[in-house]
Amino acid sequence: METKKLTIALASDHAGYLLKDALIKHFSQNNVSIIDCGTNSADSCDYPQFAELGCKKVLSGEADLTILCCGTGIGMSIAANKLRGIRAACCSDVFSAKYTRLHNNANVLCLGARVVGEGLACELADIFVNTGFEGGKHKRRIDMISDLEK
């Protein structure tokens, strides 16, 4: 039986585009399909539009997960969490990257290019995409969060 190849959407603003490109290179070397939602330059742009583009890929099922990059990761996280069905977390440490998937079933990881270096960002992204949701009591809590969106 063939395993489905993981697909990750990545998007960034101008502050995060170099980190996004580093993550694309990292994942391309690790048998992961990539959807690049832009931006692709240091020209000033508005992160909410790129957060929406990346999040819509996971909401539509085109991507399994999304990773968003901006200067701090915070703006992308705030924008992403405005979309119903998105559970975005801004992480800059291994523990948070692991448990946001394990307990919160996050489907979007937000990273700050001015906060984490390329090596740590790749490590956090690997942990995020390779950690599954634990379920159990956490499923009930995720359902409660979904109810808040209604």
Closest CA relative to residue 124, chosen from 100, 150, 149, 103: 100
- For residues 118 and 2, give the distance between their C-alpha atoms in angstroms, rounded to a whole number: 31
- What six digits make up the tokens of 27? 């994942």
Q: How many CA atoms lie within 13 A of 9 on its CB side?
A: 23
Largest CA distance in the chain: 46
Report how far apart, in Å, the C-alpha atoms of 19 and of each of 87, 117, 150 are.
21, 8, 34
Asked if 90 is an active-site residue, the reply is: no
Asked if 14 is an active-site residue, the reply is: no
**Which residue of the set 70, 90, 91, 110 is catalytic?**
70
- Identify any residues that bridge with 69 across adjacent strands, giving them in sequence order: 12, 111
List residues with catalytic annotation.
70, 103
